[in-house]
């Protein structure tokens, strides 16, 4: 009995790049939702500013690091 098998070969670099785009997409959507909720429903502008500031300060460097790994290294 002949078995038909297909092997899909994707280079690791392409796979990592694809994962990067997916993660950046999720991050962008999540950030927009987070921003909307804090702008619309929070009761204190100071806490809103602090939360969004910490969020950006902790996540943007990680996105940059991932981008550096994908496109430069």
Partner 1 sequence: MLFEKVNLEPDEQVLKIVRRHWFLITVELLVSFLVAVVPLLVLFLIMLLPDSFNALNVHLENFLPLSTFAVACWLLLSIMSGFMVWTHYYLDLWIITDRRIIVVDQIGFFHRNVSVFRLERMQDIEVTIRGFIPTLLNFGSISAQTAGHALHNFESRGMPDPRGLQAIIQKAMDARLARLHMTGTESE
Q: What would the x/- binding string for partner 1 be over residues 6 to 35, using CB under 8 A? A: ------x---x--xx--x---x--x--xx-
Q: Report the distance separating Cα 9 and Cα 12, nearest Å.
A: 9
Q: Report the distance separating Cα 40 and Cα 43, nearest Å.
A: 9
Nearer to partner 1, 7 or 21 (CB): 21
- Is residue 2 within the footprint of partner 1 (CB under 8 A)? no
Rg (CA), the chain: 19
**The binder of partner 1 chosen from 28, 37, 53, 71 (CB under 8 A):** 37
């Amino acid at each position: 009995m002949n078995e038909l098998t297909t092997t899909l070969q994707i280079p690791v670099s392409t796979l990592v790049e694809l994962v990067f785009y997916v993660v950046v997409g999720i991050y962008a959507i999540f950030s927009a939702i987070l921003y909307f909720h804090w702008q619309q429903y929070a009761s204190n502008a100071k806490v809103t500013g602090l939360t969004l500031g910490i969020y950006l300060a902790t996540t943007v460097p990680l996105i940059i690091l991932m981008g550096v790994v994908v496109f430069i290294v």
